[in-house]
Amino acid sequence: MAKSTLPSLPPALPTFSTLTYTYPLKLLPSTPHILTPHAQTSDEPHVSSNRSNTVTPAHTSPTPIQPTSVPLLFLLTYGGGLVSGDHIALTIHLDPSTRLTTTTQGSTKIFKPPASPTISSSTPPTTRQDLTVHIAPRAARWLAPDPVQPFAGSLYAQTQRFEVEREGSLGVVDWVCGRGGGREGRVGGLRGGGGRNEVWDVFGKDGEGKEKRMLVRDAVVLEGRGIRGRMDGKGVFGTVILRGPLFKGLADFFVEEFKALPRIGGRNWGSGNEVVKELTKKEEWKKRRLEREKEDGLLWTACHVRGCAIVKFAASEVEGARWWLGCMLREEGSVGREFGDGGLMFVR
C-alpha cells in the first residue's frame, strides 16, 4: 500500500490530495495538463482516496473559477500486465464541477494461465478488471487508456459502470487488441473474454435519495469456437462512449462523419466531365482520412442512444486504430481544449 498527498495550489491548479491502492494496481498522478483559455469554467478539483482503490475529488470552492489545468491519473500494473487470477476493483468519485483524465503508460497485457498440474486446464482462473465511476453535477471524466492486450490462451473479463448526474460529462475509450504478430496476433487467441460498459443516469434532489436509471449497456464477448474466423482479419476492436455537455460536440461530430461515409453500392452520378475544383481544408482532411481508413482496414459506426453517443471501430492493427482515433479527436478539437494534452496522450 502507498499513499500520495499533494496540496492544491491557488487559484486554479488542481491536485491530488490522497491516492491509496494495493497490488497489482498502482495509481500515479502526473503533472496537471494545462487548458486553453477558452475552456469551460469549473470549480477547482481536489482529489482524495480511500483504502479500496477509490479516487475522490473532494468538495471545492463554491465560487466558479476558470480552470487552468486538469488532473491526469495513470493506471499502472506492475510488470505492465496482469497475471492469471489478478482482480482489480477501482472506484472513482468526482465531486461537482471537477474534471479528471485517466490513461495508461502503455497497453495492459493479460498473461495466460500457467501450465500447471495443480490447475485444471478446463477451469483456469480469470483475470478481472472492475471500474465504478460516479460523476457529480457538472463534473467531467475522460477515460482514454491504451488497449488491453490479451495473450493467446488467456482468460479476461472487464466491467465498467459509470453513474452520471445532471450536466455531468463522460468520455470513454475501451479497446482490446492481439498481442502482436504471428499466431497470437489476433484477439481471437483469447481462450475466453469479454467486457461490459454501463452508463447510468442519476437523478433526484440532494438529501432525498437519488434514483438511477440505466441508459446504455454495451457488451462485447470474445470467446467461443471459430471466433478467429468470424473476425474478418481484424486485430483490434474498440468502443467510444460519450455523454454530457462537454462531449456533445464530439458526439455529434462522430455521428455526422459516419452519416457522410460512402455507402456500399453507392454510385457517382457525375458525367465524368466535371471541372476539378480545389478542395477545402476539411475536404482534404476527409479525403486523406478515408484513404487511410481503407489502407488500415478500418471499419466504424456511430449512433445516438438515449442521450449517449456510441462509436464502434475495428482495424487490422493497433496503429491503424490509434491513427484514426487521433485523427478524429484532433480534427474536432474539444478533448484537447477541455482536458489538455493529457487527453490525447493515448493516441501519440
pLDDT in tens, 89-115: 998 888 888 889 999 999 999 888 776
Give helix 318-332 / helix 248-259 axis angle, nearest 10°.
Answer: 120
Residue type, 62: P
Grouping H, G, I as helix, E, B as strand and the rest as coil, residue 347 is helix
pLDDT 10s digits, 217-264:
999 887 655 455 566 678 899 999 999 999 999 999 999 999 999 876
Report the pLDDT value the prediction gives residue 194, as an integer from 0 to 100: 81
Report the pLDDT value the prediction gives residue 49, as an integer from 0 to 100: 39
- pLDDT beneath 70: ranges in the chain: 1-18, 36-67, 115-123, 179-192, 207-208, 223-232, 264-277
**pTM for the whole structure:** 0.84
Grouping H, G, I as helix, E, B as strand and the rest as coil, residue 248 is helix
- Sheet strand arrangement including 211-221: 15-16, 46-50, 54-58, 87-94, 127-135, 155-164, 192-203, 211-221
Grouping H, G, I as helix, E, B as strand and the rest as coil, residue 268 is coil
Give the distance, in angstroms, between the CA of residue 101 and the centroid of all CA atoms in the same chain: 10
Report the pLDDT value the prediction gives residue 122, as an integer from 0 to 100: 60
The count of residues in the chain is 348
Q: Where are the alpha helices (DSSP H) in the chain?
A: 248-259, 281-295, 318-332, 334-339
The strand pairing partners of 92, in sequence order, are 55, 133
Cis amide linkage into residue 11, ω under 30° from 0: yes
Q: Pairing mode, if any, of strands 69-77 and 99-103? A: parallel
The strand pairing partners of 315, in sequence order, are 236
Place of cell 496482469: 82
Report the pLDDT value the prediction gives residue 185, as an integer from 0 to 100: 42
Report the pLDDT value the prediction gives residue 141, as an integer from 0 to 100: 93
